[in-house]
Amino acid sequence: MQDETEESNIYIEWLEKSIENDYTNCFKYSDFKIIDLIGGGSFGSVHRANWKNSDTIVALKSVNNYPLSLKEVVNEIKQHRKADIHQNILRFYGITREFDTIYQINKYFLVLEYADSGTLDTYLKDHFDELNWNDKYQLAFQLASAVECIHNLDIIHRDLHADNVLIHQKNIKLADFGLSIAITKESSNTPLFGSLPYIDPKSFNNKDNDNQSYILNEKSDVYSIGVLMWQISSGYRPFYNEEYGVSLCLAIQNGKREKIIDDTPKEYSSLYTGCWKYEEYERPNMKEVVLSLKSLIFPEEHNIKKSNSSAIKDQTDTILSEKSEETDNLLNDLCLENISNLSELIDENKYESNLSSQNQITTQLNVICPASDTDTSCKIKKLDDKIFLDQPEHNIREHLPKSKIIGLLILLFSIIIIISIYITENLEEIIILYKKLLNFIPAFVQFYFVVLYLYRRDAIDEKKEFQIIKKLAEKEVLYAQGLLGYYYSNGIGTEVNKSKAYELYKVAASKGDNYAQYVLSSLYELGEGVAKDEKKAFEIIKDLAEKENINAQFKLGYYYDAGIGTDVNRDKAFELYKKVAEQGHNEAQYNLGICYEFGIGVEKDEKKAFEIIKQLAQESDLDAQFKLAYYYSVGSGTKINKEKAFNLYRIIAEQDHNGAQYNLGICYEFGIGVDKAEKKAFEIISLLAKGGYLDAQSKLGYYYEKGIGTDVNEVEAFELYKVATEKGHNEAQYNLGKCYRNGIGIDKDDIKAFENIEISAKNGYVNAQFELGYYYDFGIGTDVNKEEAFGHNEAQYNLGKCYRNGIGIDKDDIKAFENIEISAKNGYVNAQFELGYYYDFGIGTDVNKEEAFGLYMVAARQGHIDAQYNKSICYELGEGVDKDERKAFKLIKELAEKEHIDAQFKLGYYYDAGIGTDVNRDKAFELYKIAARKGHNEAQYNLGMCYKLGIGVNKDEKKSFEIIKQLAEKDDLDAQFKLAYYYSVGSGTKINKEKAFNLYRIIAEQDHNGAQYNLGICYELGIGVDKDEKKAFEIISHLAKRGYLDAQSKLGHYYEKGIGTEINKAKAVELYEIVAEKGNEMHDII
């Protein structure tokens, strides 16, 4: 049997090998500066430290060199490596070690993410009064989501309690999974009952004999989550006023639980009480917990779909149906990941973050600062999306002879030439010496030894260099003429003379100098030394590209892309970029990535773009590294990882990349991937502004105006805006106009304000455009001009839509409402309709049906068709106006006669249900048929139902099956559900219970209540799957908790008959009474 030392050595050896094999990052202990002690226990201690005297704060967790401690450390590292994909799991950066001179051993420390608000227990004590129910839901959701993640990775935490859940920047950070419980067993210093209320009570019966022990499992974690959800709802530790001992242990085992806190939403309390049930099979799994919490945060919006409900039409011309419109969860920022190696940073196999978020950022240069007093955020922007090549590269490989024999001869002559150059001091002597050979040696070699000579002459001056090249050009040495053109073009050893450069390039090009031909096309393109002639430039570059010149092929792609000397042809541009990229051309690879990002000449594929740019970044291409950082910052083609973005910007910034330095400043300003540090942001932007970087000058003006990282200095702000404006910076000009308008750093001057805002608006700055509309509307610095004001109202309306849909900016319903409201008040009809819709559904404001109806009326009077449609729905339902079905019918009929597809569908429904008219199933069928032919999914569904039930047409179940199957293939959820039902009962097709089961299973995963219910029935009766009553009970129980009426009725039946659970007549009666009160409507139940 191994002794403790031998066992410890095994784990120490593993740690050392993991470092040696780069499995685990190892940091120098001396790079950390201990700040203070933040925790401790039997495992050792936890200190807060900073890394390399930077703003990067980490937690250093020391580990005792006991075998069990080391074993669990090894296990924890392995599990962290697996679970390092979720934003709510504490990040593991690596380890560090300090040599203990007393015991002559290495002492190991885990380097972990630092959580600035301590444990969940501490956070709730300090901040509970600040939390609303949405905040509590978010904490519970984040915690459950993290545990679901580790369960999906086959990791069981086993020790979830309020001291193993940390808070960083108001977000959950799950810690210590698989470690703390083992350490507790090892040490008598940790109280045995310290986490008692959180532990699965089924484990309280464990005996010393392992064969009789209850093994903690995933449902044990679910139990703990239930208790933690209660703690989040109350702010207290469970049973905080009782002693954690044997008595409490027995009470919990016998069913004692904490009382539900008053005013706790029923859905939330039902969920956590379900989690802490004694029998594990009665508890939901973590996926179900996450889905339930998600439904609380993002409740379904029930509008209309089929003939038993009604629809309000959105501006996007889509019917809002019973299908839920889920809002993406806005995930929270992580702390800085300490990565010093760029290749590791780019290698996602080492650092992967499961972040998701919006990926829409404004497409202008680099980063934009807040554009008005109401702006509160600033986002990292893309690299300039224009695809270009400024500096063509001369590819010397193009001119090498292809014959191996000639190649060997040239190599021999080259060696002779090089030796001669180092012996001979006079270039003329070399030319005379090899005059006879020059007729044999290719022209490239002639030029090659001239260049060698110039490089050998380390003391040569530019004028002498110019004279040598000029002399060679006069002797018509090939490539010397092209080189002389370069000297004239750039003023090397002579004055700049673009005309002479052009003439020399032209001569050299006519003699077959490919490089000269390439440059000649650029001269025609830019009009340097010759009249601008883009068509001529295109012809020359096309001719060179046909000779398989790689740079010319790339340039030709750019010409097609930008429409230079030819019509724009994005398909050809893409094909050329692709061809050249395959030959290793960096600029082509970059542009190919941009093509995939924006769908230029190819179907948009952000993942493909990310892969291409990442590969190029690994080759140390600076622009690709900058673009990659942007991709990480917004989640384009990958998961959002703001830490990777920050670290890439930091690394690139060290290479004097202005854009990266600018974005690094923005990261510090807003705490993107790093702790917020406004002074650091000010220092970076200030330094960059002094270097003349335009965006930085504008941003620095904003910092002085708002006092970000420095004292407010309005005069300095004004001067910086003025400097940037003179250099053509649109945003700075907009801010300059605001300064004149509000008297910031200068006397108030409305005329100058108008002039600057007008110029900025004409240059495309969207905030200036709607500001200009305001100026025209109220005559600020100009005459009142309502027509001009109206045009700019449209810009403000579009800005509101951008905020609503997250286009180019973070989604913000409140700002969307504010902008739409202003545009509507200024008389823009689309905005009036949109504002009605916002009031109708409470988007960015409270629901106000009367206000919604009034706005629909106003827009409808001006001929807005969708407003007329929604107005009719208001009359149908009596929302915001007295119910009047006849008026609704009349309005819908008028719209249907104008070929309005949604009105045709709705009119069919009115005839079908007899709303505002007599029932006429024949007319209903014909209208559904018309709308279905035009691609209206809801009409197609109802048409299928008509054939199924014989409504307005002869009953034809096969026809119904075909229609529903076709619609299901378009991913229509309700059609998929109906198709499953058809397979289950053999309606219009043969019975296929396996297909039915699989369809229900797939649809159930999308939170479809009916599918989840039928899935439970399949398990209960063994339809298409092995019979499993416990599984059926779990599914139906979960669905009943969510208030699904059919499931509540079925659950009562299960309790009554003991299906999947023990007989419980009292619960059965209770459930039947609930269902009886609400009324149970059964549908499509198999």
pLDDT tens digits, 652-664 = 999 889 999 999 9
- Could you tell me the pLDDT band of residue 766, with boundaries at 50, 70 and 90? low
Give the pLDDT confidence score for residue 413 in this predicted structure.
Answer: 54
Task: Report whether pLDDT(386) > 50.
Answer: no
Report yes or no: 174 and 90 within 8 Å, Cβ to Cβ. Answer: yes
- Determine the residue type at 556: L
Among 61-65, 101-105, 1034-1038, the range scoring the smallest mean pLDDT is 101-105
pLDDT, average across residues 82-99: 80
Q: What is the mean pLDDT of residues 466-477?
A: 79
What are the tokens at 768?
A: 């200036």
Residues 781, 814 contacting (CB under 8 angstroms): no
Residues 6+ away with beta carbon under 8 Å from 216: 156, 158, 200, 203
pLDDT at residue 726 is higher than 80? yes
| Strands of the 44-51 sheet, one edge to the other | 26-28, 92-100, 105-113, 57-63, 44-51, 32-41
Q: Which helix (H) or strand (E) holds 448?
A: helix 443-456
List, as one string, the DSSP characters of 859-921. Answer: HHHTT-HHHHHHHHHHHHHTSSS---HHHHHHHHHHHHHTT-HHHHHHHHHHHHHTSSS---H
Band of residue 334 on the pLDDT scale cut at 50, 70, 90: very low
pTM for the predicted model, two decimal places: 0.43
pLDDT, position 7: 65
* Burial classification of residue 344, based on how many CB atoms lie within 10 Å of its CB (0-12 exposed, 13-18 middle, 19 or more buried): middle
pLDDT reported for residue 328: 29
Where does the pLDDT of residue 180 fall: very low under 50, low under 70, confident under 90, or very high at 90 and above?
Answer: very low
What is the rounded distance in angstroms from the CA atom of residue 638 to the CA atom of residue 197?
Answer: 40
Confidence label for 106 from pLDDT (cuts 50, 70 and 90):
confident
| Interatomic CA distance for residues 695 and 748, integer angstroms | 25
**Percentage of residues in the chain with pLDDT exceeding 70?**
76
Residue from 378, 447, 459 nearest 671 by CA = 378
Predicted local distance difference test score (pLDDT) of residue 792: 57
pLDDT over 80 (residue 698): yes
Which two tokens mark 431? 């030319």
444-459 core/surface letters (b: 16 or more CB in 10 A; e: else): ebbbbbbebbbeeeee
Cα angle 24, 27, 30 (rounded to 5 degrees) comes to 160
614-615-618 Cα angle (round to 5):
85
Helix, strand or coil for residue 97?
strand
Query: Residues forming the annotated binding site for ATP?
Result: 61
- How is residue 405 written in tokens? 């024999």
Residue with tokens 């569908």: 905
Q: Indicate whether 870 pLDDT > 70.
A: yes
Sign, CA dihedral 657-660-663-669, equals negative
Cβ atoms 788, 818 nearer than 8 A:
no
* Chain position carrying tokens 């299960």: 1054
**Where are the domains positioned within the chain?**
763-823
For residue 647, give both structure tokens: 């670290």
Contacts of 423 (CB under 8 A, 6+ apart): none
- Tell me which residue of 1007, 1005, 957 sits closest to 981, measured CA to CA: 957
Please tell me the predicted confidence (pLDDT) of residue 381: 23
For 124-149, the DSSP string reads: HHHHGGG--HHHHHHHHHHHHHHHHH
3-state SS, residue 749: coil
DSSP H/E element including 174: strand 171-174
Whole-number CA gyration radius for the chain: 36
Mean pLDDT, to the nearest integer, of 750-779? 81
Contact call for residues 469 and 478 (beta carbons, < 8 A): no
The token pair at 546 is: 């046909």
Mean pLDDT for the stretch of residues 276-304: 73
Which region, left, alpha or beta, applies to residue 607 given φ > 0 means left and ψ of -120 to 50 means alpha? alpha
Q: Residue 429 — very low, low, confident or very high, per pLDDT cuts 50/70/90?
A: low
- Contacts of residue 935, Cβ cutoff 8 Å, sequence gap at least 6: none
CA dist 647 and 341 (Å) reads 9
Segment holding 88, helix H or strand E: none
Residues in the chain: 1086
Measure the CA–CA gap between 110 and 113, rounded to whole angstroms: 10
- Please say if the pLDDT value at position 643 is more than 80: yes
User: Nearest to residue 276, comparing CAs of 231, 335, 315?
Assistant: 231
Could you give phi then psi for residue 533, rounded to 5 degrees? -150, 90
Residue with the two structure tokens 């004409």: 762
Rounded to the nearest 10°, the torsion over CA 972, 977, 981, 984 is 100
Gap between the Cα atoms of 777 and 757, Å rounded:
14
3-state secondary structure of 383: coil
Which band of pLDDT confidence, cut at 50, 70 and 90, is reported for residue 627?
very high
DSSP lists the bridge partners of residue 59 as 48, 112
Is the torsion defined by CA of 256, 257, 261, 267 positive or negative? negative
pLDDT for the residue 904: 92
654, HSE (Cβ side, Cα atoms, 13 Å): 7
What is the CA 48 to chain-centroid distance, rounded?
31
Q: What is the mean pLDDT of residues 73-78?
A: 72
How confident is the model over 570-580, as a mean pLDDT? 92
- Summarize the confidence of residues 875-888 as an average pLDDT: 92
User: Binding site: residue ranges?
Assistant: 61
CA end-to-end span of the chain: 61
Alpha carbon distance 408, 62 (integer Å) = 65
pLDDT score of 456 more than 50: no
* C-alpha torsion sign, points 577, 578, 582, 583: negative
Query: What is the token pair recorded at 581?
Result: 């990229």
Give residue-wise pLDDT tens across range 502-525. 998 888 888 888 888 888 998 999
Is residue 562 a contact partner of residue 391, using CB atoms and an 8 Å limit? no
Question: What is the structure's pLDDT at 1072?
Answer: 87
Phi and psi at 111, nearest 5°, equal: -100, 110
Residue 557 in tokens: 């792609």
Averaged confidence pLDDT in the chain:
78
157/164 Cα distance (integer angstroms): 10
* Token pair for 459: 């003391």
pLDDT more than 90, % of the chain: 38
